[in-house]
């Protein structure tokens, strides 16, 4: 098994046997000069002689790691039998440890030897050329806006990094992406380490599966609540329940599930239940469960506003709500930004003084086509329009701001209505205050 040339050129004479002789000879000379009465440094723990099999095994693999350790062990054993026979029986394990350490170091070499070529191959793949900006003359006074990515069409696997959470959340509600629930489970897999989970419809005292991720080993199509203590407890409490809470409540209860989360709803009892069977080991912590709750809360909120049941496909169109709902959603966006770093920004579009309701309606028709499926807008009695650009930071919001201003100014000149004043940007914390 070979290793990259760059690795061999560092602290190496170029050939395995040369390194073994150089390291072994250096150790033997140092041993004789410092403590000639203790050949092999047997009085030290660990003995410096372990350096020989560790270095050669890590650099050249199993064979050279084992051979260097075995040769050093054999030479030391013969030398001690001739000079200090009583030391051999007292340190018999030392002579077996040297070749064993060479084998362990060889295993580390085999792992790195596989990973390094993969990284070098990926590094040699040419990056896709950046798109050229459009001709400025084609759209005067309107800044170029990057196209919205479709995260659900991007493959997610061990060799590809998932799209950012904000893009994936937005992609759940893009028209043509399919039902929300199956895509949501895929999102939880890439962003929360969930490998086996299902969404169930709560039907009285039983659960009926509507979407599945992974195997159905512990996630059957129909599951009585009485057979799943964690699900029954979650439905009763209307909150997230983990296996740790089940064991502390009912110590004798055996739970093959890690967590259960009733579907977040603004009012009334939950209609659906998320049941998690398996997760990546490093993902099983309170931080991840909090992230799962946040994701489900946002998805449930969009489903409620768009009147989706999770099994139907999203449709396009602006999402306009009352000022009260807008303030509540902006407060949720502020909390998501504080706790999980998920960005959102509010854009406020003000009409000039003296504007009429007809002007406000005209402005609304210009703002609506610029909104995406996850953007939320409201219009106040004075004609001011506020848009919550969920999962967008101030930079993206500034593009939206300039685009609306340019369209409104042009339309006002053509149709003779009152132009708008400059719009204002605000983070959700300020908008919700």
Is 138 inside a domain boundary?
no
Q: Rounded distance, CA 373 to CA 171, Å?
A: 9
Q: Given this model, what pLDDT does residue 119 score?
A: 46
Q: Given this model, what pLDDT does residue 76 score?
A: 81
Q: Given this model, what pLDDT does residue 6 score?
A: 39
Low-confidence ranges of the chain (pLDDT < 50): 1-10, 113-160
Q: Which of these three, 250, 276, 306, is where a domain ends?
A: 306
Q: Rounded distance, CA 177 to CA 197, Å?
A: 20
Do 295 and 325 fall within a single domain? no
Do 201 and 272 fall within a single domain? yes
Residues 6+ apart with CB under 8 A from 154: 160, 162, 163
Q: Given this model, what pLDDT does residue 121 score?
A: 44
Is 276 inside a domain boundary?
yes
Residue-wise burial string across 88-102, b where 16 or more C-beta atoms lie within 10 A, e elsewhere: eeebeebbebbbbbb
Q: Given this model, what pLDDT does residue 126 score?
A: 45
Interhelix angle for 51-60 vs 92-124, to 10°?
30
Do 94 and 226 fall within a single domain? no
Q: Rounded distance, CA 12 to CA 19, Å?
A: 6
355 contacts 381 by C-beta, under 8 angstroms = no
pTM of the complete model: 0.59
Nearest partner of 52 among 80, 82, 31, judged by Cα: 31
Is 58 inside a domain boundary?
yes
β-pair partners for 206: 203, 224
Do 253 and 390 fall within a single domain? no
The strands making up 222-224's β-sheet, listed across from edge to edge, are: 222-224, 206-213, 194-203, 272-279, 259-262, 241-242
- Residue range of the domain that includes 74: 5-124
Q: Which of these three, 272, 306, 340, is where a domain ends?
A: 306
Q: Is 52 helix (H, G, I), strand (E, B) or coil?
A: helix
Q: Given this model, what pLDDT does residue 279 score?
A: 93
Torsions phi, psi for 222 (to 5 deg): -125, 130
Is 139 inside a domain boundary?
no
Do 105 and 178 fall within a single domain? no
Residues 6+ apart with CB under 8 A from 273: 199, 200, 202, 207, 231, 234, 235, 260, 261, 262, 263
Residue 369 maps to which CATH number?
Answer: 3.30.70.270
Is 129 inside a domain boundary?
no
Residue 200's CB is within 10 A of a number of other CB atoms, namely 27
Q: Is 344 helix (H, G, I), strand (E, B) or coil?
A: strand
Do 369 and 250 fall within a single domain? no
Q: Rounded distance, CA 328 to CA 297, Å?
A: 13
């Amino acid at each position: 098994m070979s290793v990259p040339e760059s690795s061999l050129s560092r602290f190496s004479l170029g050939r395995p046997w040369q390194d073994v002789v150089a390291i072994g000879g250096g150790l033997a000379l140092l041993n004789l000069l410092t403590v000639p009465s203790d050949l092999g440094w047997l009085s030290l723990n660990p003995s410096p002689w372990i350096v020989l099999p560790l270095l050669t095994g890590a650099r050249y693999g199993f064979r050279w790691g084992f051979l260097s350790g075995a040769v050093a062990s054999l030479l030391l054993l013969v030398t001690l039998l001739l000079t200090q026979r009583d030391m051999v029986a007292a340190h018999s394990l030392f002579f077996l440890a040297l070749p064993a350490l060479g084998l362990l170091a060889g295993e580390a070499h085999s792992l790195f030897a596989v990973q390094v070529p993969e990284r070098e191959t990926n590094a040699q793949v040419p990056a896709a050329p950046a798109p050229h900006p459009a001709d400025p003359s084609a759209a005067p006074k309107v800044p170029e806006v990057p196209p919205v990515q479709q995260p659900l069409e991007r493959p997610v696997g061990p060799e590809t990094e998932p799209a950012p959470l904000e893009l994936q959340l937005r992609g759940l509600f893009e028209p043509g992406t399919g039902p929300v629930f199956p895509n949501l489970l895929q999102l939880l897999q890439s962003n929360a380490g969930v490998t086996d989970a299902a969404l169930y419809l709560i039907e009285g005292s039983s659960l009926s599966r509507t979407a599945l991720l992974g195997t159905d080993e512990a996630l059957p199509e129909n599951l009585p609540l009485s057979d799943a203590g964690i699900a029954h407890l979650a439905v009763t409490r209307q909150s997230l329940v983990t296996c740790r809470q089940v064991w502390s409540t009912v110590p004798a209860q055996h739970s093959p599930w890690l967590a259960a989360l009733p579907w977040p709803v603004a009012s009334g009892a939950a209609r659906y239940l998320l049941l998690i069977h398996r997760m990546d080991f490093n993902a099983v912590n309170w931080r991840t469960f909090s992230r799962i709750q946040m994701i489900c809360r946002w998805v449930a909120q969009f489903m409620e506003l768009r009147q989706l049941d999770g099994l139907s496909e999203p449709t396009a169109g602006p999402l306009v709500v009352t000022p009260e709902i807008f303030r509540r959603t902006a407060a949720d966006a502020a909390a998501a930004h504080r706790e999980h770093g998920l960005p959102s920004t509010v854009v406020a579009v003000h009409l000039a003084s003296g504007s009429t309701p007809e002007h406000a309606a005209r402005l609304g028709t210009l703002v609506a086509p610029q909104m995406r499926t996850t953007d939320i807008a409201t219009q106040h009695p004075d004609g001011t329009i506020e848009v919550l650009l969920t999962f967008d930071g101030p930079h993206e919001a500034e593009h939206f701001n300039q685009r609306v201003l340019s369209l409104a100014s042009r339309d006002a000149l053509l149709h003779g209505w009152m132009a708008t004043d400059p719009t204002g940007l605000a983070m959700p914390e300020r908008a919700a205050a």
